[in-house]
Amino acid sequence: MSEALGRIRQFLTTHAPAMPCLVIDVDDVVARFGEFRAHFPTARACYAVKANPAPAIVRALAEAGAEFDVASPAEIDLCLREGAAPRSLSYGNPIKKATDIAYAYDRGVREFVTDSAGDIDNLAAHAPGAQVTVRLSVDAPASVTPFGRKFGCGPELAVDLLQRAERSGLDAAGLAFHVGSQQLDRSAWDIAIGTAAKVFAELTTLDLRRLNLGGGFGVSYAGEAPDLEQYASTVHHSLDAHFPGHTPEIVFEPGRILTAEAGLIRTEVVLVKPGDPRWVYLDIGRYNGLAETENEYIAYRIETVERHPETDGPVILAGPTCDGDDVLYQHTPYRLPSDLKAGERLDILSAGAYTASYSSVSFNGIAPLRTYCLVDGKLADEL
């Protein structure tokens, strides 16, 4: 058991908070940020706030020297309130209202990601002189939770958009891409970097100098993911191969890889319905924290808190709501103790990313996922 997991379970034992709840060890997040910077020492690391926007996390990362990938005015306000400098924020969402752009610019944000002519025109009007990176759509291998075709543009359009930005008085700084969340195929970065290099080569008349590689680094859930050293080796090799002699300024947007393994969800069994297999209903489901179980994309590791005999059996895991889609796992094989009863507790591991931030406001009257943040093993924030 890791030191962070030990601190989390000690807190749960001592305080016995109401379930379900997410507990985050903030010191572990900061340590993982340090590890990330050690593997990419010359790159900028902009924490993807959407992964987990707990103020204690943002505050600690700001103190550790992180920059931030924000997607809305609310995330901008959060980061500024927790000590981030305005120039450390990159507005990475290419889908934004003109009023959102004006709001961000008024608060000192000067870096934006875009992928359309309309957005560039809004940036020119409401964020004059701002730095712009154009997001590429890349033909990378499918990730565990892919973006589809919602974001990005092809290389030819990227050329046009960068030229349009420059003509509009914006600073055409470079390109961005994202290979998909929880990307387990490291070749995805080589494909994307190679595509970006071709656009750089075509636009030598512009001062392109920045390449934003996004996030997507996976963590180990029920299955294994490459470790950070393996990811870093692939990225460095690809940059050397596709940008020989001159690597652009590199930006990352790490989210999941910093917070996922620093968090644990404790949940209570609501009901066990006998059958073959049994149905086990939890007090947490797709609408109050486990959105990433949709299509069973993310298979969390689950452990029982109470001790049981060695006998177990297959189960279907479902959430507590009256929605028929609130089923977590019916195809992924999960096994739980044969004598599991209502009222017993389960721990969902590596649950610090895309859980509380995906939780609904109050579907079926169920409150959003309660979050506790620990610093030095003590409660820092309760959300």
Instruction: Identify the CATH number of the domain in which residue 365 sits.
Output: 2.40.37.10
Residue 383's pLDDT band (cuts 50, 70, 90):
low
Q: Are residues 201 and 278 in the same domain?
A: no
**Is 46 inside any structural domain?**
no
The pair of structure tokens assigned to 274 is 């006998």
**Is 160 inside any structural domain?**
yes
Q: Which of 201, 226, 254 lies at the terminal end of a domain, its last residue?
A: 254
The pair of structure tokens assigned to 213 is 């590689």
**Is 296 inside any structural domain?**
yes
pLDDT at 154 over 90: yes
pLDDT at 382 over 70: no
Q: What is the pLDDT of residue 139?
A: 84
How large a percentage of the chain has pLDDT more than 90?
Answer: 92
What is the per-residue pLDDT across 76-135, written as a single tens digit (0 to 9) for each? 999 999 999 999 999 999 999 999 999 999 999 999 999 999 999 999 999 999 999 999
Q: What is the pLDDT of residue 140?
A: 77
| Number of neighbouring beta carbons within 10 Å of residue 368 | 17
Q: Are residues 347 and 294 in the same domain?
A: yes
Q: Quick one: which H or E segment has residue 282?
A: strand 278-282
Q: Which of 254, 282, 299 lies at the terminal end of a domain, its last residue?
A: 254
pLDDT at 237 over 70: yes
Q: What is the pLDDT of residue 50?
A: 97
pLDDT at 162 over 70: yes
Domain tally for the chain?
A: 2
Mean per-residue pLDDT, 279-301 = 96
What is the per-residue pLDDT across 333-363, written as a single tens digit (0 to 9) for each? 999 999 999 999 999 999 999 999 999 888 9
Residue 1's pLDDT band (cuts 50, 70, 90):
low
**Is 267 inside any structural domain?**
yes
**Is 285 inside any structural domain?**
yes
Q: Which of 202, 225, 254 lies at the terminal end of a domain, its last residue?
A: 254
What is the pLDDT of the chain when averaged over all its residues? 95
User: How far is 67 from 70, CA to CA, in rounded Å?
Assistant: 10
Residue 217's pLDDT band (cuts 50, 70, 90):
very high
User: How far is 192 from 199, CA to CA, in rounded Å?
Assistant: 11
Q: Are residues 266 and 292 in the same domain?
A: yes
Q: Are residues 216 and 120 in the same domain?
A: yes
Q: Are residues 222 and 86 in the same domain?
A: yes
The whole domain housing 92 covers 53-254
pTM metric for this prediction? 0.95
Mean per-residue pLDDT, 162-181 = 97
Q: What is the pLDDT of residue 138?
A: 87
- Three-state DSSP at 262 gives helix
Q: Are residues 90 and 171 in the same domain?
A: yes
User: How far is 79 from 53, CA to CA, in rounded Å?
Assistant: 9
**Is 48 inside any structural domain?**
no
Q: What is the pLDDT of residue 141?
A: 78
Residue 29's pLDDT band (cuts 50, 70, 90):
very high
End-to-end CA distance of the chain: 26
The residues annotated as belonging to the active site are: 322
What is the per-residue pLDDT across 297-341, written as a single tens digit (0 to 9) for each? 999 999 999 987 779 999 999 999 999 999 999 999 999 999 999
**Is 150 inside any structural domain?**
yes
User: Which residue type occupies 96?
Assistant: K
Decide if 356 contacts 54 (C-beta within 8 A).
yes
The pair of structure tokens assigned to 168 is 């509009």
**Is 101 inside any structural domain?**
yes
158 to 36, 127, 128: CA distances (angstroms):
29, 20, 20
